[in-house]
Amino acid sequence: MKAGIIGISGYTGLELIRLIQQHPHLEVGTVYSSSMNKKTFQAQFPHLQQPIAPLNLTTFNAQQLMKDNDLLFFATPSGISKDLVAPFVENNFPVIDLSGDLRLKNPELYQKWYQKAPAKIDILRKFEYCLPEWHAPTGNFIANPGCFATAASLALMPLVKDQLIEFSSIVIDAKSGLSGAGKKLADTSHFVNVAENMSMYKVNQHQHIPEIIQFMQKYEKEFNTLQFTTSLIPIKRGIFLSLYAKVAQETNENALYESYLKAYQKQPFVRIQKELPQIRQVLTSNFCDIGLRYNPQTHMVTVVSVIDNLVKGAAGQAIQNFNLWADLESNCGLEQIPIFP
């Protein structure tokens, strides 16, 4: 099958190109960039020079895109795909959207957290939020979860679903590498300001907060708020997420582990491990590794989940969703060993 990609100049689009090349049943069809032409693209991304097959850049023509491809990935910044997907939705042409535009069911929440006009309600209704370990696609329109939301929801769900923790006590302290902040030039991404530094940003204001709450509410209605902060650490890729919560009743580490093992035993990409995981063990792969510790003094559980923000947190998960949509094995084309060192 041929996958068109809308938005190839960002890290997510580039990662889609890399991963699709390794997929046995998928190839890159035509691609579109609003900011780059063939020449500027090649100049900025010399890693893609020949003999790697050149990309087939095209204009944004919905009819032509549907003719040239079997499905489309939207790897655009927020605020773009909500409008651009309209003709494809009308034609029931498969779309996997990696932006945040079509994740929140409540348009007011989008308006509030993204500070932008939301998608039209009839488009919003057609899209399914698919964190594939918990909800596989059933139709042609997939909203792919955000990177932090993926690491957070996979860590939270066993505890929330099995009602093992007090929701109001949850604290998530998430850290991300710089690719999570995108390619945009800013003081905060200048090497000199990032190296030998760490900083917190968008405290209590990160747009993945309502996405996580919405997803938890599918299982637990009373999950209404979330203490969630994000920081930048001086690495290129990777998310390290620490989750703390009071347990609902006295327990032990093994019992907590059981909940995770049960939840993910059939999932090829979530690895529950006895040692707390480190970022390096999942880099460039679609794995989410999770470990935990219980503290009987504070009655709190500490859960650590790590992902590669560009793979399990974006392009890899989108392909995982594609696999499920196409009735392939969940891990088809995604089984590469993480890069180490």
CB of 193: closest distance to a second copy in angstroms? 7
Nearer to a second copy, 177 or 313 (CB): 177
CB of 340: closest distance to a second copy in angstroms? 5
- 44-to-35, 38, 333 alpha-carbon distances in Å: 12, 10, 27
Please tell me which residue in 130, 147, 288, 332 is annotated as part of the active site.
147
Q: Quick check: helix, strand or coil at residue 199?
A: strand
CB of 133: closest distance to a second copy in angstroms? 14
Which H or E run includes 11? helix 11-21
> Is the separation of the CB atoms in 258 and 162 below 8 Å?
no
Nearer to a second copy, 117 or 198 (CB): 198
Encoded amino acid at 145, one letter = P
147 carries an active-site annotation: yes
In whole angstroms, give the CA distance from residue 229 to residue 241.
10
Nearer to a second copy, 79 or 338 (CB): 338
CB of 138: closest distance to a second copy in angstroms? 25
CB of 145: closest distance to a second copy in angstroms? 21
* Helices within 33-146 (DSSP H only): 38-44, 62-68, 81-84, 86-90, 107-114, 121-126
Counting beta carbons within 10 angstroms of the beta carbon of residue 224, is it exposed (0 to 12), middle (13 to 18) or buried (19 or more)? Answer: exposed
Nearer to a second copy, 83 or 329 (CB): 329
In whole angstroms, give the CA distance from residue 164 to residue 158.
8
Nearer to a second copy, 122 or 186 (CB): 186
Q: Catalytic residue positions?
A: 147
